[in-house]
Structure 1
């Protein structure tokens, strides 16, 4: 199966299974895989089994361990963000759409609301990525406008997606949830632009962070592109099960 046929298969199955609330196919598999890995990259304590149970049944398996409420809330938010992504695949990427993704991810997170974080809107306080400063709140809107104007003027390829993602993460437009919204945009734009989609695995987190650091230091996305290609192959191979009769 070529890339075009693979994407057509995904879009068709995502639409049907999401509408029927069928969690047993490639839609449910992708929801669980992406939510687990993307949240794990950000420090979630939930396991793959717990993520699957939460998505499939809405409850966590019985355990003697304590669950961090924020991890559960953000996992549920990620499921909702994925659904929003599917429901808006007929629209081009805009600032408003990105804000909608963030709202779905974060609107149910008590800790963020209690801390006064902007939900579904750009950050109101400066934030850093480790020791690196990001764009100041007063400059975010202009920088995002410029980024999307540049992006929508390109012939989209994996190289352009890597550059977009690195710039997006450098801007860090939201108070929290930038990585998860950024990775959802990547998956979404692959489907929208006819590029083989991918999910960044938590096991490749060091490689992913090093690639983003390389861009911050030298505007080089070579390592990020290589990672994206590796993850394309991984997701493609994992989906083969659903293509076999």
Structure 2
């Protein structure tokens, strides 16, 4: 896995700089953006996202395109690039806020609603019927979460708990899931002990059940099992690009 990770990081960075749209960088950008946004309700297809990423256009369609879907997809591409550019840095509050800023700064609807962009939420929000951290408590809870994370041995189990706790805090007004899943991918690239993975929309129900299991029973068994499964899937897909 360490040899694969070294190859993957090198190729992602080289192809990013070359604006290469034919290799593992483009594949990963598209798959991450498609699945993470679709989990949150995006209507764009993988074909449409590929066109948007490759040449900045959308195919002619009999249906309409939602401006927010397009804006968030472009923001997701930028968030991925920022993640790669800062891979050597330690995970910190300012870095997480900037991930959110890259994702959301071009989204008109969120700005029109007065949402904080690149900063913690100013209004209470919920996950379905479950309450999350109040705005006044977010900074403290995020500091506590990161302090805990720094002290842990970096393992998939640690990362699963970090993500579940992050989602319970729900630090931003919107875009929590996408920033949270980008952090997962980032930390897996950063640490040799972790295998990179992408949560697929096909597994959305398992993913949500895993978060629910932690929320209600403080267990991460389902989430950890899913992450390990997705890591194997991503590894197998990347074999196509290895010479």
Question: Which TM bucket (shorter chain)?
Answer: over 0.9
CA distance in 2, matches of 1:186, 1:78: 14
CA distance in 2, matches of 1:80, 1:181: 12
Q: 1:100 aligns to what?
A: 98
CA distance in 1, matches of 2:73, 2:155: 29
CA distance in 1, matches of 2:54, 2:63: 20
Secondary structure in structure 1 of the residue aligned to 2:151? coil
Q: TM-score, normalising length from structure 1?
A: 0.98
Q: Does 1:114 align with 2:112?
A: yes
Aligned with residue 177 of structure 1, among 149, 160, 175: 175
Q: 2:130 aligns to what?
A: 132
- What is the deviation of 1:229? 0.4
In structure 1, the gaps of 5 or more residues are none
CA distance in 2, matches of 1:115, 1:6: 43
Aligned with residue 27 of structure 1, among 9, 25, 28: 25
CA distance in 2, matches of 1:83, 1:135: 29
CA distance in 2, matches of 1:74, 1:91: 25
Q: 2:210 aligns to what?
A: 211
In the TM superposition, 1:118-197 aligns within 5 A as 118-194=116-192, 195-197=194-196
1:8-53 CA deviation, whole Å, 9 max, x = no partner?
Answer: 0111101110001001100000000000000000000000000100
CA distance in 2, matches of 1:109, 1:127: 19
Q: Does 1:44 align with 2:42?
A: yes
- Backbone CA RMSD of aligned residues: 0.5
- What is the deviation of 1:78? 0.2
Q: 1:65 aligns to what?
A: 63
How many residues align structurally? 242
CA distance in 1, matches of 2:188, 2:207: 18
- What is the deviation of 1:64? 1.1
CA distance in 1, matches of 2:166, 2:116: 18
Secondary structure in structure 2 of the residue aligned to 1:116? coil
Q: 2:222 aligns to what?
A: 223
Q: TM-score, normalising length from structure 2?
A: 0.99
Q: Runs of 4 or more off by more than 4 Å in structure 1?
A: none
Aligned with residue 5 of structure 2, among 2, 7, 17: 7
In structure 2, the gaps of 5 or more residues are none
CA distance in 2, matches of 1:89, 1:67: 33
